[in-house]
């Protein structure tokens, strides 16, 4: 096991994010034994059957005792709860890291709990799908994606380096930034779009003036556009509540933009509408 | 040519919608000679090279003289303009039909112009992509999609029947409804989502507080979610302005839904947020 980046790893929350990391590190030969932790037995058994993890435990405290790296990947609000439970049982030199979609809240809650000799490195892979659980995990999820690490002044340099190498082994480009910037950028490019998608589906689906389900007329555009509204409700409740300030700010910005568009439509502003759509198309096309 | 559904067809606006219909009808052996009409020479030449049309003309009046069916597929606001130009030149018994995304406006403008002996059948295929022009056309666009026809009390039954068979030959399921219902349903499932996508990209892209383009951090979710914001600006300007009332009504409904969500986030309403997301997820998942 000498050459392994991480001889023993424990994944707490063996779902899409944690399971995919385990698979990616196994595929890269960067990890030895992976122990999965969770509440539901069926998901953990399936995770072993699918080769996502090597063994599992429903006792988080015991499962971290010999781990070199503990990866937290439960919904955001439960991350500090699980950290509080496992940190006192981790061995000296071990690293706790996470994949939570919000960073300021998590760092504020977890950092004060970290005992001397144990290291905490906050992280967030910018990758995912709308599906959940170990069955949704796949080895290439992080390939050619970005992973953001948000070290603080307390973060150990060597621990940060190991976590960086872990995500690189999983196929990602690693960037670092401070927690506040992370949370604002993610509010814009991910959290806001999810809120908009959820609200759009509810607005359209609640329009019951026709005596039939109008969604049956929807075509590919609507399906693609609303795919992210299939995401896990508890995960998004947690994200919305823990990144509240940045998210409310972005929703406000979006509301102003939509109000401007609405006014142009009401006023029949041909040129202004054309330019609004063109500006958006140009920005969107530049992503390709 | 006896057995052909449409011996001679003229497509005015040889782009995605008109070009794909020509290709689909050729593939089904339902059409004889197809003449394409447009303004730009390059697009028309390319359309012939790609086998989308058999010949082209930039003289719309002359190009409809011997057509059994004339299909209008230019942007919505230009449909009545082109109809006014070609209707006086169509032969007795010929059918004018269209693929415009808005129906009330078009029917109100075109129906009074239709001379005795010529028939007008308003239609709208619920299929499309964000791409434009003859190069974007493909034969299977209408396969297993719906096409809505919106006959009025003036619509000729036999002409309606032929247009129905035309879309069925192209692979679509044909449904009929009145123009007002069509425009309201499309405002909900298509026009509103496009407005939301355009506004979202503009809101996120105009957030320039970071000294870098934050869109570079966006992942697959954002790209899929905003794909429809790549759609043609002039097409969407026309749709927004000609379906103004229904669209403003739907934007209003969406704004209320988003305001409710925003309030729940601000108030930290865990359960209410969870239920909001769950309701949306259930409706979205039911589309699969
Ligand atoms: N999905 C994405 O697109 C994405 C992207 C980047 C980051 N993230 C972040 O990654 C984390 C996990 O997301 P995911 O998509 O992997 O979700 P997931 O597939 O639902 O996995 C979460 C796992 O955590 C376990 N879990 C849930 N609640 C728990 C609790 N209270 N205590 C202990 N375990 C619990 C679940 O199993 P049991 O219910 O059996 O315990 C499940 O296996 C979240 O913090 C999310 O913000 C997600
Ligand atoms: N795209 C969709 O998803 C979709 C779905 C259903 C219905 N529709 C409707 O179908 C129609 C066409 O849309 P499309 O997507 O096929 O657009 P498109 O690919 O841009 O094709 C439109 C065609 O019309 C021609 N044209 C544009 N302006 C014209 C004008 N003023 N006079 C004469 N010709 C003109 C264009 O060629 P030149 O510029 O060379 O003239 C082009 O070939 C629109 O009414 C739209 O509402 C679109």
Average pLDDT over residues A121-125: 98
- Mark whether B171 and B186 lie in a shared domain: no
Report the separation in Å between the CA atom of A38 and the middle of ligand 1, taken as the mean of its atom positions: 9
Give the pairing of strands B55-57 and A95-98: unpaired
- Mark whether B108 and B213 lie in a shared domain: no
pLDDT, tens digit (0-9, with 9 covering 90-100), for B3-35? 799 999 999 999 999 999 999 999 999 999 999
Residue A181 has a pLDDT of: 96
- Mark whether A239 and A257 lie in a shared domain: yes
Residue A1 has pLDDT above 90, yes or no: no
Residue A192 has pLDDT above 90, yes or no: yes
Last residue of a domain, one of B154, B177, B200: B177
Is B211's Cβ below 8 Å from some Cβ in A?
A: no
Residue B1 has a pLDDT of: 43
- Mark whether A85 and A57 lie in a shared domain: yes
- Mark whether B91 and B143 lie in a shared domain: yes
Residue B219 has a pLDDT of: 80
List of residues 6+ apart from A218 with CB closer than 8 A: B126, B189, B190, B287
Q: How far apart are CA B224 and CA B76, in angstroms?
A: 26
Write A128-132 long-range contacts (CB < 8 A, 24+): A128/A16, A128/A17, A128/B219, A128/B221, A129/A16, A129/B220, A130/A227, A130/A228, A130/A230, A130/A231, A130/A232, A130/B221, A131/A16, A131/A230, A132/A15, A132/A16, A132/A232, A132/A235
Is B236's Cβ below 8 Å from some Cβ in A?
A: yes
Residue B213 has a pLDDT of: 87
Average pLDDT over residues B118-132: 96
Note whether residue B1 is domain-resident: no
Note whether residue A205 is domain-resident: yes
B80 close to ligand 2 (CB < 6 Angstrom): no
- Mark whether B40 and B173 lie in a shared domain: yes
pLDDT, tens digit (0-9, with 9 covering 90-100), for B179-209? 999 999 999 999 999 999 999 999 999 888 8
Q: How far apart are CA B12 and CA B69, in angstroms?
A: 11
Residue A193 has a pLDDT of: 96
Would the CB atoms of B262 and A278 count as touching at under 8 Å?
no
Note whether residue A226 is domain-resident: yes
Last residue of a domain, one of A114, A144, A177: A177
pLDDT bin (cut points 50, 70, 90) of residue A220 is confident
Residue B209 has a pLDDT of: 86
Q: How far apart are CA B258 and CA A2, in angstroms?
A: 54
Residue B225 has pLDDT above 90, yes or no: no
pLDDT, tens digit (0-9, with 9 covering 90-100), for B61-105? 999 999 999 999 999 999 999 999 999 999 999 999 999 999 999
Residue B235 has a pLDDT of: 95
Last residue of a domain, one of A160, A177, A194: A177
- Mark whether B220 and B78 lie in a shared domain: no
- Mark whether B252 and B276 lie in a shared domain: yes
Query: A99, A189, A267: best mutation site toward chain B, by most B Cβ within 10 Å?
Result: A189
Is A202's Cβ below 8 Å from some Cβ in B?
A: yes
- Mark whether A266 and A124 lie in a shared domain: no
Note whether residue B173 is domain-resident: yes
Note whether residue B24 is domain-resident: yes
Domain that holds residue B55: 6-177
Residue of B nearest to A245 (CA): B266
Residue A212 has pLDDT above 90, yes or no: no
Domain tally for chain A?
2
- Mark whether B217 and B240 lie in a shared domain: yes
pLDDT, tens digit (0-9, with 9 covering 90-100), for B247-265? 999 999 999 999 999 999 9
**Token pair for B87:** 């209707």
- Per cent of chain B over pLDDT 70 is 99
Note whether residue A1 is domain-resident: no
Note whether residue A140 is domain-resident: yes
Average pLDDT over residues A73-101: 98
Question: Nearest-CA distance from B149 to chain A in Å?
Answer: 13
- Mark whether A240 and A271 lie in a shared domain: yes
- Return mean pLDDT, chain B: 96
Is A286's Cβ below 8 Å from some Cβ in B?
A: yes
Would the CB atoms of A205 and B283 count as touching at under 8 Å?
yes
* CATH number of the domain to which A146 belongs: 3.40.50.720
Q: How far apart are CA A106 and CA A80, in angstroms?
A: 6
Residue A157 has pLDDT above 50, yes or no: yes
Residue B161 has pLDDT above 90, yes or no: yes
- Mark whether B144 and B21 lie in a shared domain: yes
Note whether residue B115 is domain-resident: yes
* CATH number of the domain to which A253 belongs: 1.10.3660.10
Which residues of chain A make contact with B270, given a CB cutoff of 8 A?
237, 241
Residue A81 has pLDDT above 60, yes or no: yes
């Amino acid at each position: 096991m000498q050459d392994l980046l991480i001889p023993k790893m424990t994944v707490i929350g063996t779902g899409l994010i944690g399971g995919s990391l385990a698979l990616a590190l196994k595929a890269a030969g960067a990890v030895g034994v992976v122990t999965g932790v969770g509440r539901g037995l069926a998901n953990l058994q399936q995770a072993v059957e699918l080769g996502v993890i090597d063994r599992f435990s429903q006792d988080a405290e015991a499962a971290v005792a010999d781990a070199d790296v503990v990866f937290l990947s439960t919904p955001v609000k439960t991350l500090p709860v699980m950290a509080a439970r496992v940190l006192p049982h981790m061995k000296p030199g071990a690293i706790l890291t996470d994949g939570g979609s919000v960073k300021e809240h998590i760092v504020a809650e977890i950092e004060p709990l970290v005992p001397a000799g144990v290291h905490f490195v906050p992280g967030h892979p910018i990758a995912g799908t709308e599906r959940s659980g170990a069955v949704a995990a796949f080895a290439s999820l992080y390939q050619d994606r970005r992973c953001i690490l948000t070290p603080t002044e307390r973060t150990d340099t060597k621990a940060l380096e190991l976590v960086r190498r872990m995500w690189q082994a999983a196929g990602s480009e690693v960037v670092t930034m401070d927690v506040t910037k992370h949370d604002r950028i993610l509010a814009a490019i991910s959290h806001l779009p999810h809120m908009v998608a959820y609200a759009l589906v509810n607005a359209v689906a609640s329009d019951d003036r026709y005596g039939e389900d109008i969604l049956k007329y929807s075509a590919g555009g609507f399906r693609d556009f609303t795919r992210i509204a299939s995401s896990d409700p508890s995960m998004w409740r947690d994200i919305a509540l823990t990144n509240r300030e940045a998210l409310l700010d972005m929703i406000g910005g979006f509301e102003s933009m939509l109000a401007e568009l609405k006014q142009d439509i009401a006023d029949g502003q041909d040129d202004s509408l054309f330019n609004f759509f063109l500006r958006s198309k140009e920005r969107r096309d530049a992503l390709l």
